[in-house]
Structure 1
Amino acid sequence: MNRKPKNLFKTTVALAVANALLAGNALAENESEQDIEKIEVTATKRVTSIQEVPLAVTAIGGDELVDMQITDILSIEKAIPGVTVASFGNNPQVILRGAGSAGTTDIAVPIYHNNMYLPTTGQALAGYMDVERIEALRGPQGTLFGRNTFGGLINVITKKPDTEEFDFGAAITVGDYGLLKTEGFVNVPLGDKVAFRLTAADEQRDGYVENINNPDGDLKDSDYTYVRGQLLFTPTDDLSINLTMSHWKDTGNGSLNWAYKAAGIPLDKNDPTKINAIDGYLDPRMGIYVGCEGEPDRAGGRSQAGNVCAGDASASIVSDPRKIDYDYTPIRELEETAVYLNIDWEVANHSLVLNAAAFDYQAINLMDAEFSSMASWVDGTYGTTKSEQVDFTISSTFDGPLQYTLGAYYFDSQDPDNKSAYLFGSLTESWYAYAGATPETPSWAYWNREGRGGTKSTALYGQATYSLTDKLNATAGIRYTEDDRQSQRSNSLAGSLGWGNWDDYLGPELPSFTYVDGNGDALPTEVGKDENMDYRLGVDYQINDDVMVYASYSTAYIAGATDAATQKLLDPQTNKSYEAGFKSTLFDGDFRLNGAIFNAKYEGLTTTAFIEQGDTGVAVATQVPGGSINSRGIELEGFWDVTDDLVVDFGVSVDMSEYDEFVVNAGNLVINDSDGNPVKPIGSEVIDGGFGFVMDGENTPYTPDLTVGVGVSYFFDLGDMGTIKPYVHTYYNSGYMTNRAPAFFGEQDAYAKVDLSVKWESVDGDFTVQAYVNNATDELIQTYTEILSRARVAYDYAAPRNMGIRFGYNF
Structure 2
Amino acid sequence: MLAITAALWEKKAMHKKYGFLCSLFILPFLPFGQASAQSTASGAFAIEEIVVTARRREESLQDTPIAVSAFSEEEMDLRGHLNVNDIASATPNVNIEQSSNTSGLTNSPTVFIRGIGQQDFVINTDPAVGIYVDGVFIARSIGSMLDVMDLERAEVLRGPQGTLFGRNTLAGALNLITKRPSTEAFDAKFTVAAGENGYSQINGAFNIPLSANLAARISVMDRKRGGYVEATNYDDLWLGDDNTQAIRAQLEFAPSDSTRVNISTDYTKSRAAPSPMVAETLGNGYGDKNALVAASTMQAYWWNVSAPMQMASFSGLEVCKTLAGQQTDTRCMGQVHNPGPDVYETTAVWHDIHGVKDPDPTNKVDTLGGALVIEADTNWGTFKSITAYRGFESDFRNDHDYSAILLFTNINDDFHQDGRSQEFQLVGNAMDGKLDYTAGYYAFAETGTERVSLVGLAGLWVVQGRENGVIPPTSTVPWAGSTGMNPKGGARFQRIVRDIDNTSNALYGQVTYHFDAPFHLTAGVRATEDEKSFDVTIHRDYCPANPNSAVQPAGGPTSNGDGFIAFDKVTDVCQVSTGSAKWNEVDPMISLAYDLNDTTMLYGTYSTGFRDGGFASRFPDGLPDTMPAFKPEYVTSSEFGVKTELLDGSFRLNAAVFDTTYDDMQVSAVPVAIARGTGIENIGVGKLSGVELEALWIVNDNLRIDASVGLLDASLESVVGGGFTTGGFKIYDQSSGVTCTASATLRCIELNDVVLPYTPETNYTIGITHRLPMSSGGNLTTRLDYIRNDAQQFKITNQIDMREDAYTVANISTTYNSADSQWALTFGIRNATDAVYSTAGSFSTGNGNSALNLSRPRESYLRYQHWLGN
TM-score (ref. length: structure 2): 0.77
Name which of 266, 279, 285 aligns with 1:246: 266
Name which of 753, 765, 768 aligns with 2:821: 765
- In structure 2, relative to structure 1, the CA distance for the partners of 1:653 and 1:716 (3 Å cut) is same
- In structure 2, relative to structure 1, the CA distance for the partners of 1:370 and 1:527 (3 Å cut) is closer
Given that residues 117 and 128 in structure 2 are in contact (C-alpha distance below 8 angstroms), is that contact kept between their aligned partners in structure 1?
yes
CA deviations over 1:349-395 (Å, ceiling 9, x no partner): 40111222212212221244443345776323341111111121101
Any residues of structure 2 matched to 1:620-635 within 5 Å, and which? Answer: 623-635=680-692
* 1:494 and 2:541 correspond: yes
Any residues of structure 2 matched to 1:187-586 within 5 Å, and which? Answer: 187-255=207-275, 259-264=277-282, 265-266=284-285, 267-268=287-288, 272-273=292-293, 288=313, 297-298=322-323, 306-307=331-332, 315-328=337-350, 329-374=360-405, 378-381=409-412, 382-398=414-430, 399-413=432-446, 415=447, 417-424=448-455, 430-432=461-463, 445-494=492-541, 500=557, 523-562=576-615, 570-586=630-646
- In structure 2, relative to structure 1, the CA distance for the partners of 1:573 and 1:367 (3 Å cut) is closer
Given that residues 246 and 268 in structure 2 are in contact (C-alpha distance below 8 angstroms), is that contact kept between their aligned partners in structure 1?
yes
The one-letter amino acid paired with 2:374 is I
Name which of 792, 795, 798 aligns with 1:739: 795
SS state of the match for residue 110, structure 1? strand
- In structure 2, relative to structure 1, the CA distance for the partners of 1:645 and 1:47 (3 Å cut) is farther
Name which of 94, 97, 103 aligns with 2:111: 94
Counterpart Cα distance in 2 of 1:731 and 1:390: 40
Given that residues 738 and 782 in structure 1 are in contact (C-alpha distance below 8 angstroms), is that contact kept between their aligned partners in structure 2?
no
Given that residues 491 and 557 in structure 2 are in contact (C-alpha distance below 8 angstroms), is that contact kept between their aligned partners in structure 1?
no
* 1:602 and 2:658 correspond: no
* 1:709 and 2:765 correspond: yes
Given that residues 230 and 243 in structure 1 are in contact (C-alpha distance below 8 angstroms), is that contact kept between their aligned partners in structure 2?
yes
Segment of structure 1 superposing worse, 508-517 or 94-103: 508-517
What is the Cα deviation at residue 420 of structure 1? 3.8
Segment of structure 1 superposing worse, 183-192 or 604-613: 604-613
What is the Cα deviation at residue 119 of structure 1? 0.9
- In structure 2, relative to structure 1, the CA distance for the partners of 1:345 and 1:691 (3 Å cut) is same
Segment of structure 1 superposing worse, 496-505 or 694-703: 496-505
SS state of the match for residue 85, structure 2? helix
- In structure 2, relative to structure 1, the CA distance for the partners of 1:345 and 1:487 (3 Å cut) is same
Given that residues 372 and 388 in structure 2 are in contact (C-alpha distance below 8 angstroms), is that contact kept between their aligned partners in structure 1?
yes
Q: Which residue of 2 aligns with 1:660?
A: 717
Segment of structure 1 superposing worse, 423-432 or 771-780: 423-432
What is the Cα deviation at residue 551 of structure 1? 0.2
- In structure 2, relative to structure 1, the CA distance for the partners of 1:49 and 1:492 (3 Å cut) is closer
* 1:54 and 2:86 correspond: no
Counterpart Cα distance in 2 of 1:187 and 1:733: 40
The one-letter amino acid paired with 2:392 is Y
Number of positions where the alignment pairs a residue of Structure 1 with one of Structure 2 = 740
The one-letter amino acid paired with 1:338 is G
What is the Cα deviation at residue 216 of structure 1? 3.3
Given that residues 110 and 119 in structure 2 are in contact (C-alpha distance below 8 angstroms), is that contact kept between their aligned partners in structure 1?
no
Counterpart Cα distance in 1 of 2:670 and 2:825: 56
Segment of structure 1 superposing worse, 324-333 or 41-50: 41-50
Counterpart Cα distance in 2 of 1:377 and 1:270: 22
The one-letter amino acid paired with 1:595 is A
SS state of the match for residue 715, structure 1? strand
Q: Which residue of 1 aligns with 2:700?
A: 643
What is the Cα deviation at residue 571 of structure 1? 3.0
SS state of the match for residue 406, structure 1? strand
SS state of the match for residue 330, structure 1? coil
Counterpart Cα distance in 1 of 2:60 and 2:291: 65
CA deviations over 1:579-615 (Å, ceiling 9, x no partner): 00001110000000010000001111235687579xx
Gaps of 5+ in 1: 1-32, 276-284, 518-522, 671-682
Given that residues 337 and 360 in structure 1 are in contact (C-alpha distance below 8 angstroms), is that contact kept between their aligned partners in structure 2?
yes
Counterpart Cα distance in 1 of 2:313 and 2:142: 34
Counterpart Cα distance in 1 of 2:664 and 2:824: 51
Q: CA RMSD in A?
A: 4.1
Counterpart Cα distance in 2 of 1:94 and 1:620: 22
- In structure 2, relative to structure 1, the CA distance for the partners of 1:666 and 1:370 (3 Å cut) is same
What is the Cα deviation at residue 81 of structure 1? 1.0
What is the Cα deviation at residue 172 of structure 1? 0.9
* 1:755 and 2:755 correspond: no
SS state of the match for residue 116, structure 2? coil
Counterpart Cα distance in 2 of 1:712 and 1:318: 38
Given that residues 491 and 513 in structure 1 are in contact (C-alpha distance below 8 angstroms), is that contact kept between their aligned partners in structure 2?
no
* 1:729 and 2:785 correspond: yes
What is the Cα deviation at residue 317 of structure 1? 2.6
The one-letter amino acid paired with 1:597 is V
Q: What percent identity do the matched residue pairs reach?
A: 26
Segment of structure 1 superposing worse, 533-542 or 715-724: 715-724
Given that residues 655 and 706 in structure 1 are in contact (C-alpha distance below 8 angstroms), is that contact kept between their aligned partners in structure 2?
yes
Name which of 79, 83, 88 aligns with 1:77: 88
What is the Cα deviation at residue 712 of structure 1? 0.4
What is the Cα deviation at residue 218 of structure 1? 1.1
CA deviations over 1:711-735 (Å, ceiling 9, x no partner): 0001111143411100001012221
What is the Cα deviation at residue 39 of structure 1? 3.7
Given that residues 274 and 299 in structure 1 are in contact (C-alpha distance below 8 angstroms), is that contact kept between their aligned partners in structure 2?
no
Counterpart Cα distance in 1 of 2:400 and 2:319: 31
SS state of the match for residue 75, structure 1? helix
What is the Cα deviation at residue 128 of structure 1? 1.9
Counterpart Cα distance in 2 of 1:217 and 1:768: 35
CA deviations over 1:278-317 (Å, ceiling 9, x no partner): xxxxxxx9955999999973599899973279xxx96343
- In structure 2, relative to structure 1, the CA distance for the partners of 1:474 and 1:274 (3 Å cut) is farther
SS state of the match for residue 493, structure 2? coil
Given that residues 226 and 246 in structure 1 are in contact (C-alpha distance below 8 angstroms), is that contact kept between their aligned partners in structure 2?
yes
- In structure 2, relative to structure 1, the CA distance for the partners of 1:351 and 1:53 (3 Å cut) is same
Counterpart Cα distance in 1 of 2:319 and 2:670: 41
Counterpart Cα distance in 2 of 1:387 and 1:165: 35
Segment of structure 1 superposing worse, 468-477 or 369-378: 369-378
Q: Which residue of 2 aligns with 1:808?
A: 865
Given that residues 542 and 548 in structure 1 are in contact (C-alpha distance below 8 angstroms), is that contact kept between their aligned partners in structure 2?
yes
* 1:700 and 2:756 correspond: yes
Counterpart Cα distance in 2 of 1:93 and 1:377: 23
The one-letter amino acid paired with 2:275 is S
SS state of the match for residue 523, structure 2? strand
- In structure 2, relative to structure 1, the CA distance for the partners of 1:36 and 1:710 (3 Å cut) is closer
What is the Cα deviation at residue 803 of structure 1? 1.3
Counterpart Cα distance in 2 of 1:797 and 1:692: 28
Given that residues 101 and 703 in structure 1 are in contact (C-alpha distance below 8 angstroms), is that contact kept between their aligned partners in structure 2?
no
Counterpart Cα distance in 2 of 1:507 and 1:271: 34
